[in-house]
Amino acid sequence: FPDMLSNPRLLSLQRTLNVVMNQNVSLSCHSGSGSPPVRYTLFKDSQKVSTLIKPDLTPGLFNLTINSASDTGEYKCKAENNSTGGGKYSNSLNFTLKEPISRPVLSSPTSQAKKGQNVTLSCLSENGSLPITYIFFKGRQSISTPVKMQKREAAMIFLLINSSSDFGIYKCRAENSFRNNTKYSNSFNFTLAEERSHSQALIISLGLILLLFVIGFALAIPFFIIPSYKASE
């Protein structure tokens, strides 16, 4: 009588579940005990991927290519022989797709600022596997601690423009777990918003007073000056 198979074990021969696009991977499914022949079936998210039959108790090897994010779901395998009935299922494996990040974009709701004004800077990489870590710079000096984003959201910092030296060039840097993949953003700099001087304000005020005087004089002509002139005749 054939012996019942033990629960198979599913392993990744790459010894890592982190993969990149278009990578070839190999999965091993193996029942350590039971009577051969053994039929191994690989499943992804409960959908059958492939089946092979081994005449002995050597592992069944499945070769895959990760073509897209949809190839990184849950994998399991099933082992069957003539005595296992419904078969025995393995542990599950989930691949994590590592995608290089795109160049981050540094932006702000405003490009002009006055001294003493609070401003905001946002940094976002539209593509790349999460999490993504951002750092903000002014010139070559970092001005923030690393900000790790677990979602596809912009990292933000808040700044106070204290002096003219705060109007320099700002950048941000983004990186993820993809090896040797650090990207710097575009440059961004605030410009000083023009402030009217006291002399400019005085000139504008005098101009408004003169304009009001001219308008008042023009309105007075038909009501006071012309009747007075006719009365004197």
User: 219 Cβ partners below 8 Å, 6+ apart?
Assistant: none
Among 97, 121, 148, residue at a domain's last position: 97
Contact by Cβ (8 Å): 99, 128 = yes
Among 58, 78, 97, residue at a domain's last position: 97
CATH of the domain at 63: 2.60.40.10
- Do 13 and 93 have their domain in common? yes
- Do 59 and 84 have their domain in common? yes
Number of C-beta neighbours around residue 36 at 10 A: 17
Write out pLDDT tens, residues 149-205.
999 999 999 999 888 888 889 999 999 988 788 999 999 999 887 655 444 556 676
- Do 86 and 123 have their domain in common? no
Rounded to whole angstroms, the Cα distance separating 139 from 146 reads 17
Rounded to whole angstroms, the Cα distance separating 111 from 129 reads 30
**DSSP summary character for residue 32:** S
Domain span holding position 52: 8-97
Nearest alpha-carbon partner for 126 in 100, 102, 155, 148: 102
Contact by Cβ (8 Å): 176, 101 = yes
pTM exceeding 0.75? no
**How many domains does the chain divide into?**
2
